[in-house]
Structure 1
């Protein structure tokens, strides 16, 4: 399972794994309780692989932030829960990502990152490293396809 198949759906708790595409949207399975739902085209859906966190110098992909949390926690769940106080959450996130932009990353964002990380770990998703070979192969195929046209 990769972050390309994991989505957050506005108005729905937790994360969902994409199962199949339909004519009017797609079917997703909840990582919280395993229930399947149908999601329409009009729903606001965010793919985790496309989300980034603002830092003072750049935007860091969520996968890299998860990798830093995993390194800090030795592969386990976070020591801080997503329901902790604002100060505890910000202190924890500062330990993980010292250069995050405090003006553009809100406490609600930190809560989501921590909650999502813990949910992914509970569901056996532990590989947050970039797979460079897959990226290179994709770029190679894309460039070959554009050369022929």
Structure 2
């Protein structure tokens, strides 16, 4: 789940993938229906990789929140973002127990859960889990001391 090219565009529903940058803006493709749109530089656009959620200790990157949802749901779909606010708040409390409920609104929770479900349905969540496992394996192998090559014995006759 590389969120570097995933966009949320103000005034447009759903998520978009950045395709091409142009002189006057860029071209983005909708994750929902696959339609391409042009977006000018004056539009309010947010990269998902730059979004954070307020907690009592500071801010938590959206990528970590989405990873927590994926862990809880075993990379499957989460609850619907159309549930009532109390249900969504209780669910989000399970995901991120220390989120700042005075600064994180029900609309924010709905958006995050909707984004998670969109990314999950398009296969971004499984791809992230697989890439994290590979990264962990590489890190573990890098930490393990390499075996010293064995010296060849001379055979004398």
Same structural fold, with TM-score higher than 0.5 when normalized by the shorter chain? yes
Q: How far apart are residue 40 of structure 1 and its match?
A: 0.2
Q: C-alpha displacement at 1:10, in angstroms?
A: 0.2
SS at match of 1:34: coil
User: What per-residue deviation string (whole Å, max 9, x for no partner) do you get for residues 6-51 of structure 1?
Assistant: 0000000000000000110000000000000000000000000000
The CA RMSD measured in Å over matched residues stands at: 1.6
* Rounded Cα–Cα distance in structure 2 between residues aligned with 1:85 and 1:48: 25
Secondary structure of the 1:63 match is helix
Normalised to the residue count of structure 1, the TM-score between the two structures is: 0.84
**Cα distance in 2 for residues equivalent to 1:41 and 1:72:** 37
From the CA coordinates, give the structure whose radius of gyration is larger.
Answer: 2
Matched with 1:96 is 95
Unaligned runs of 5+ in 2: 139-157
> Which digits, 9 at most, give the CA deviation of each residue in 1:40-89, with x for residues without a partner?
000000000000000110100000000000000001010x2101100000
User: Equivalent residue for 1:6?
Assistant: 6
State the match for 1:23 in structure 2: 23
Q: Secondary structure at the match of 2:69?
A: helix
Distance 1:48 1:101 in 2: 19
TM-score relative to the length of structure 2: 0.80
The count of aligned residue pairs is 131
- Other-structure match for 1:71: 71
1:26-105 mapped onto 2 (5 Å cutoff): 26-78=26-78, 80-105=79-104
Match of 1:142 in 2: none
Runs of 4+ in 1 over 4 A off after TM superposition: none
**Secondary structure of the equivalent of 1:108?**
helix
Match of 2:105 in 1: 106
